[in-house]
Amino acid sequence: MKNVSKFNIMEMIQFDLRSYLCPVPLVMARCALKQLPSHVQALFRLNKQSDIRDFELLCEEMGLILKEKRENKGEIQLIIVSSN
């Protein structure tokens, strides 16, 4: 019998906030994260003017994990998950 490992696959919801200026993306992210189920990851796409530190503080305040930060051509991508 083969040993089969199980993968923890999480659903991901994307939020494209690149067309908004601060503080709007942060406010919208806070509202979205309050409603985010624990088994779902959130991918936020932001413009370069957004301050990642604000999102780090938001995660700290809400008890969430900023799992990944990426900076691509003209945008920032953040993946946020529940700490549960």
- Please name the residues in contact with 39: beta carbons below 8 A apart, sequence gap of 6 or more: 10, 11, 82
- The enclosing H or E element of 80 equals strand 75-82
pLDDT digits (tens, 9 = 90+) for 4-32: 545 566 799 999 999 999 999 999 999 99
* pTM of the shown model: 0.85
Q: State phi, psi for 60 to the nearest 5 degrees.
A: -60, -50
pLDDT digits (tens, 9 = 90+) for 26-76: 999 999 999 988 889 999 999 999 999 999 999 999 999 999 999 988 899
Domain spans in the chain, listed from the N-terminal domain onward: 11-82
- The enclosing H or E element of 65 equals strand 64-72
Report the SS3 class of residue 7: coil
- Please name the residues in contact with 27: beta carbons below 8 A apart, sequence gap of 6 or more: none
Q: Does domain 11-82 have CATH number 3.40.50.10490?
A: no
